[in-house]
């Protein structure tokens, strides 16, 4: 069995700074490890004035809620250290972010009993869809810092969604809000043949996988 040799290949890298545990066990199937942070955008980087930025939750809620940038920064935030996998096959372990849990954001509204899906929408018109169950209980956050600095525009700054348990296209950059729906609705990449769910541990890359 080749398994042993593959594992051995990674032993020497266990000492890499910040990389605890068994690196191979943390690498989803078909992925390679990198310490790079490539930029992948479907269009130009939008530049929204922070004075005009807001984050809004609408749809199947008792009443929509909207935070200005300053109000958003005043929400309870925390540091998150998470592993990110992109469908282009890179995995970057232990990425360090700061941001607000989706749980905290949803505390601001009362969800309709029919609420089941979140459509994340962004400056630049990108969307992505997620079941509510995939973003609750500490599974997702809206980040405004990466690696101790304000999130750079090309990586989604001023703020982006981060959903570590899904391929990175679900982590909508330049996010401006959530639309809560009863029905699922494929987002930008999901409409173009990418998998509706995108679980990297199940290699859900393309529709039909
Ligand atoms: N608004 C928006 N969000 C987006 C994208 C995009 O084009 N627009 N690209 C997605 C894809 S396909 C990936 S792989 C990641 C890339 O994030 P990065 O450029 O910070 O690496 O952002 C995702 N979020
Ligand atoms: Mo991507």
Return mean pLDDT, the chain: 92
Is 16's pLDDT higher than 90? Answer: no
Distance from the alpha carbon of residue 36 to the mean position of ligand 2, in angstroms: 14
As for ligand 1, residues whose beta carbon falls within 6 Å of it are 37-42, 86, 122, 124, 126, 155-156, 168-169, 171-174, 189
Distance from the alpha carbon of residue 84 to the mean position of ligand 1, in angstroms: 12
Is the peptide bond preceding residue 158 cis, with omega within 30 degrees of 0?
Answer: yes
Mean pLDDT across the stretch 76-91? Answer: 98
CB 80 within 8 A of CB 161: no
- Residue 138 burial by CB count (10 A; 0-12/13-18/19+): exposed, middle or buried? exposed
**Which candidate, 21, 162, 169, 177, places its Cα nearest to that of 97?**
162
CB 119 within 8 A of CB 131: no
Mean pLDDT across the stretch 43-71? Answer: 98
**Which candidate, 63, 61, 71, places its Cα nearest to that of 118?**
61
Is 17's pLDDT higher than 70? Answer: no
Q: Which of 171, 174, 205 is the pocket-test mutation for ligand 1 (most atoms within 8 Å of CB)?
A: 171
- Which tens digits make up the pLDDT trace of 132-180? 999 999 999 999 999 999 999 999 999 999 999 999 999 999 999 999 9
Distance from the alpha carbon of residue 11 to the mean position of ligand 1, in angstroms: 32
DSSP class per residue in 142-197: EEEEETTEEPPGGGTTT-EEE-TTS-GGGS-TTEEEEEEESS----HHHHTTB-SS
In this structure, the residue with its CA closest to atom 22 of ligand 1 is: 169
CATH number of 52-78+96-202: 3.90.420.10
Q: How many CB atoms lie within 10 A of CB 181?
A: 18
Q: Flag whether the pTM goes above 0.85.
A: yes
CA distance 47 to 153: 7
Residue of 116 and 22 predicted with greater confidence: 116
Report which ligand 1 atom has the smallest distance to the Cα of 87. Answer: 14
Q: Which of 38, 42, 123, 206 is the pocket-test mutation for ligand 1 (most atoms within 8 Å of CB)?
A: 42
Report which ligand 1 atom has the smallest distance to the Cα of 156. Answer: 20
In this predicted structure, which of 20-24, 69-73, 93-97, 182-186 has the lowest mean pLDDT?
20-24
Is 198's pLDDT higher than 50? Answer: yes
Is 3's pLDDT higher than 90? Answer: no
């Amino acid at each position: 069995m080749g398994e042993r040799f593959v594992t051995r290949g990674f032993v020497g890298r266990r000492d890499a700074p910040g990389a605890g545990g068994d690196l191979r066990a943390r690498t989803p199937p078909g992925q390679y490890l990198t310490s790079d942070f490539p930029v992948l955008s479907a269009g130009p980087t939008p530049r929204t004035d922070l004075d005009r930025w807001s984050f809004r939750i609408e749809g199947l809620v008792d009443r929509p809620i909207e935070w200005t940038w300053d109000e958003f920064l005043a929400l309870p935030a925390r540091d998150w250290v998470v592993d990110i996998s992109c469908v282009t096959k890179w995995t970057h372990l232990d990425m360090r972010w700061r941001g607000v849990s989706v749980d905290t954001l949803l505390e601001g509204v009362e969800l309709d009993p029919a609420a089941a899906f979140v459509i994340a929408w962004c400056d630049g018109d990108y969307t992505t869809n997620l079941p509510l169950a995939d973003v609750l209980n500490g599974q997702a956050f809206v980040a405004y810092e990466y690696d101790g600095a304000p999130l750079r525009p090309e990586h989604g700054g001023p703020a982006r969604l981060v959903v570590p348990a899904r391929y990175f296209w679900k982590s909508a950059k330049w996010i401006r809000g959530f639309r809560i729906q009863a029905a699922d609705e494929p987002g930008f990449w999901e409409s173009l043949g990418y998998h509706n769910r995108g679980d990297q541990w199940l290699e859900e890359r393309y529709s039909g996988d």
